[in-house]
Structure 1
Amino acid sequence: MKYFVILFLALFQTAILQSQVKNVIVIFTDDQGYEDLSCFGSNKVKTPYIDQMAEEGLKLTSFYVASSVCSPSRAALLTGRMPKRVGIPGVLFPKKNEKGLSPNEITIAELLKEKNYATGLVGKWHLGHAKKYLPLNQGFDSYYGIPYSNNMSIASGIDISPNIVLNDGYTLEMMYDDIKKVDSGEKKYKNELKDKAPLLRGNEIVEYPTNQTTLTERYTKEAVSFIKKNKEKPFFLYFAHSFPHVPIFVGDKFKGISGTSPYYDAIAEIDWSVGEVFKALKENGLDKNTLVIFASDNGPNSHGSAKPLKGRKFETYDGGQRVPAIFWAPEEIKAGITSDEVVSSLDVLPTIANFTGICMPKDRVYDGYDLSKFLKGKTKESPRKEMYFYGSNSTKIDGIRQGDWKYLIKGYRKAGWYKPKGDDLKIKLFNLKEDISESENLIEKNPKKANELLNKMKDYDADLTKDISKK
């Protein structure tokens, strides 16, 4: 009898220690700035559903993505590895023979397949449009969305559905003519083909050009349908919105709703979408065992705001890579907490692995950390002590943040419309706790700290480069 009591207590204790999380949802917006939620200080849009998520979860004010542009940021999120390490240092384009995320990489979806998860992707992919790179070959059971940014054009090498819907007076002949123009690579077609992105279901184009006005609504219906369909088994939903990336499209119900601009109307519609996801969780009894993560893929485009941060998309000032983020899991994460601990999208994969009881693969180097103890309140400190910054389309390292200090070689984007001058051209050292806007260069006052961070940055980049050379 004593043996059975001891066994029961041991099993009971094990059950308590196990995570209550069964399902995982990652909501990733496109080009949304640090300030562009009302719970992060925006006075240009109301986001009640996301605000409620923050009130019931953990709001992170020093959450960094691994790049200030789309493709590398998404590669890092899904693999837990730096963009340079996985071979996606810059933006991918819908051109002939374009590469993508290597099928040898292990995505969150592939990792969760170890426990027979249903896996779905709704929205933007942007990690390669050739069939071998598309979501169905990267661990996802289903895919519905635009395969890259919504301002891009159709590409060759994608299967066409026999039931394709053609919009704007298009015929099949006209569509194939567009594909030929893209393949030609001639710049004269650039403006003509811009903003004509295809919509995919699985590996096939089902609509061209995509009716983007109804896109957020259709994405949301697809996400809710996935949740309902898989409510009896564990699932992973990666819900990657196409907006507020430009060109900005908004459903009729949300046009003008913010009272400020189409950009904030689009965010208001995304907020509604988040509300629909949470409504579906509650209606299907899944609101107690689901981990939901909300973040943006990088800083804002020219329509949004990263205040009080400096910089925006394309840049390695904080405004380019520090984004709004919220983690929500009622049975695991204490409600109403705000933390300024340094956390990264790189940490999402190892954290999900821990929550779902999966061992991390041992055959590769990971750049992410398991946040589970931090998220559950067992420690107030994040396991991440550094964040490294690489240029938006470069493998060259730009900077490092360690604690409150940030060392930056170059924070701006070199572009025709921007001529860097003055402090932008200097090597910089900031104390982000005292100077969140990166306005005061302290390098001359703290040469020892600057040199310490420079050496640490160089050592990390050398190790990363060495790991790549082994492939």
Structure 2
Amino acid sequence: MSSLALFAQKQQKPNIVYILADDLGIGDVSAYNPNGKIITPNIDQLAQSGVRFTDAHTTSSVCTPTRYGIMTGRYSWRTTMKSGVLHGYDPPLMDSKRETIAGFLQKQGYTTGVVGKWHLGWNWNNREAGETKIDYSKQVKEGPNARGFDYSFCIPASLDMPPYAYVENGFCTSIPKDSIAGMTGIRLFRAGLAAPDFKPEEVLGKFTEKAIAYINENAKKDKPFFLYFPLAAPHTPILPIGKFVGKSGVSPYGDFVLMVDDVVRQVVETLKKNGVYENTIIVFASDNGFANPADMKAQLSKGHNPSIMYRGVKTDIFEGGHRVPFIVSWGGKLNKGKVSAQLVSTTDFFRTAAELTNATISDNTAEDSYSFLSEITGKNTRYAKREAVVHHSSNGFFAIRKANWKLVLCSHSGGNSFPKENSEEAKTLPSVQLYDMANDIAETKNVQDKQPLVVQELTDLLTKYIRDGRSTQGVNQTNEGPSHWKQLTWVKE
């Protein structure tokens, strides 16, 4: 194929950059919260140049499950992980045979790279013997490079989880050997080993440096590129540095959010300098809602609410746990400034990319993914739009949302907010919660007793989604894990 033909082919397939913030509340982006005290001009500009979705949700209200959903287009509770998250030394969550968005895009002619927080598991050498027995000089296997990425530069899990090391293409850039003590509060660290070249306050800058280098290198090549850029901020530890200290006028957390906003600026400027901005799709999202360890009281004391009017925070089944900022911009040329109320899940990136590249998805791939391409282009889609979305809390509890109705299959928050599971208050409440999201977006009035038919309809739909192994059209698939589902205990067999 001639270089001219290759260039023409590249022009037909846009580059893709997916920036995923970590624990950023929907109210922390000023485009979503005009009354907020944290101003994010660069993320706002991204919204003004593209489409801002107002009803977008992560597949879970915690980290690992959301990342699984983005990578696979599948709800994470279909795996053996029915609740919680992975830690730094845990084995891979994604089955080696499962198609990932990175591997899928490779088949469509893309060069693929990931820079940032992986949090989906690796196979460490001698992991069972304890972290001090691991040979960190050997290759760490079954990580990003074995899941469809040509290039990877990552930390294993959250910024507060050991081992504290950079892993580039399967090898630690420096050997972890120094023990660091644990800390609490907004500077939360779990005790563990750290590599000499790992400085927590420098991680966001290092990730940005590597992401920019990746764009600079691949913008010059004939093949389109996909960069998955999952940040480790503003997750704890809250570590604003340099000119950002005190910049927000709200809190150290607010300063850290402004550092995330500046990452967006640097990415956009790099794309423009390389002449590829107009042919690049940028997706910006968060992996769940604001996290309480970042000190909600401090934000509220300055008149800033990271959850805006939504109830709950990270870990919860309520909206504040999983309704997130979700912005898609394509070179600033399509539907500039559009605000979309279309129901969207973070699993939907997979099928959107498939439609974008005119590719076909097999029945055992992206079973919970719908395309939102029509909302970006304004053109009709060949795929059906999402009819409902399933929510999942950190403790493994379900909710399902269809149109204006949201059914929560527990009496409590499902996470760390009140009422907590097994609390005395939760024991006195109805076993399910039904909210009319059109008239009660704050989820204050449980109307399950007044709408029994809606409760039954949504219960049946959620049960079907679980048992079918998919929520999209296609051949039924198999879920992993125990045959008896804790999450199906509400169903009368």
TM-score with structure 2 setting the length: 0.79
1:403 corresponds in structure 2 to 403
Greater mean alpha carbon deviation, residues 308-317 or residues 355-364: 355-364
**Letter paired with 1:467:** Q
2:206 equivalent to 1:218: yes
2:117 corresponds in structure 1 to 124
1-structure distance, mates of 2:24, 2:431: 28
2:334 corresponds in structure 1 to 333
The match for 1:108 among 61, 76, 101 is: 101
The match for 2:465 among 460, 464, 468 is: 460
Q: Structure 2 matches for 1:54-453, cutoff 5 A? A: 54-89=47-82, 90-95=84-89, 98-130=91-123, 131-154=140-163, 164=174, 172=177, 174=178, 194=190, 196=192, 207-208=195-196, 210-231=198-219, 232=221, 233-302=223-292, 303=294, 305-330=306-331, 333-364=334-365, 366-378=367-379, 383-394=385-396, 398-410=398-410, 411-413=412-414, 419=420, 420=423, 421=425, 426-453=431-458
Shift of 1:19: 8.4
Shift of 1:227: 0.5
The match for 2:40 among 40, 47, 56 is: 47
Greater mean alpha carbon deviation, residues 141-150 or residues 328-337: 328-337
Shift of 1:364: 3.9
1:35 corresponds in structure 2 to 27
2:137 corresponds in structure 1 to none
2-structure distance, mates of 1:162, 1:26: 24
2-structure distance, mates of 1:212, 1:401: 38
SS at match of 1:257: coil
2-structure distance, mates of 1:447, 1:162: 56
Preserved CA contact (<8 Å) 1:77 1:346? yes
Q: Deviations over 1:126-162 (max 9, x none)?
A: 0002133311111112222211011111289x89968
CA shift in 2, pair 1:161/1:238, >3 Å:
closer
1-structure distance, mates of 2:477, 2:314: 28
**Letter paired with 2:94:** L
Q: Which runs of 5+ in 2 are unaligned?
A: 1-7, 124-139, 297-305, 471-475, 482-493
Q: Deviations over 1:302-324 (max 9, x none)?
A: 13521211111111111111101
Preserved CA contact (<8 Å) 1:124 1:146? yes
1-structure distance, mates of 2:190, 2:197: 11
CA shift in 2, pair 1:30/1:111, >3 Å:
same
Preserved CA contact (<8 Å) 1:248 1:262? yes
Preserved CA contact (<8 Å) 2:78 2:479? no
CA shift in 2, pair 1:332/1:102, >3 Å:
farther
Aligned residues: 426
2-structure distance, mates of 1:348, 1:234: 17
Shift of 1:115: 2.8
Shift of 1:111: 0.6
CA shift in 2, pair 1:195/1:343, >3 Å:
farther
Shift of 1:87: 3.6
Question: RMSD between aligned alpha carbons?
Answer: 3.2
Shift of 1:433: 1.5
Shift of 1:362: 3.7
**Letter paired with 1:366:** E
**Letter paired with 2:435:** F
CA shift in 2, pair 1:448/1:425, >3 Å:
closer
CA shift in 2, pair 1:415/1:363, >3 Å:
closer
Shift of 1:412: 1.1
Preserved CA contact (<8 Å) 1:127 1:133? no
Preserved CA contact (<8 Å) 2:19 2:285? yes
Greater mean alpha carbon deviation, residues 273-282 or residues 437-446: 437-446
2:4 equivalent to 1:23: no
2-structure distance, mates of 1:146, 1:105: 22
1-structure distance, mates of 2:430, 2:236: 29
**Letter paired with 1:225:** A
CA shift in 2, pair 1:283/1:294, >3 Å:
same
Preserved CA contact (<8 Å) 1:37 1:46? yes
2-structure distance, mates of 1:45, 1:463: 43
SS at match of 1:133: coil
1-structure distance, mates of 2:218, 2:115: 15
Greater mean alpha carbon deviation, residues 65-74 or residues 109-118: 109-118
2-structure distance, mates of 1:192, 1:223: 26
1-structure distance, mates of 2:429, 2:232: 31
SS at match of 1:236: strand
**Letter paired with 2:275:** G
Shift of 1:164: 2.1
Shift of 1:417: 8.8
2-structure distance, mates of 1:324, 1:440: 25
CA shift in 2, pair 1:21/1:259, >3 Å:
farther
Identity of counterpart residues, as a percentage? 31
1-structure distance, mates of 2:327, 2:172: 41
Preserved CA contact (<8 Å) 2:79 2:479? no
SS at match of 1:468: coil
TM-score with structure 1 setting the length: 0.82
CA shift in 2, pair 1:209/1:430, >3 Å:
farther
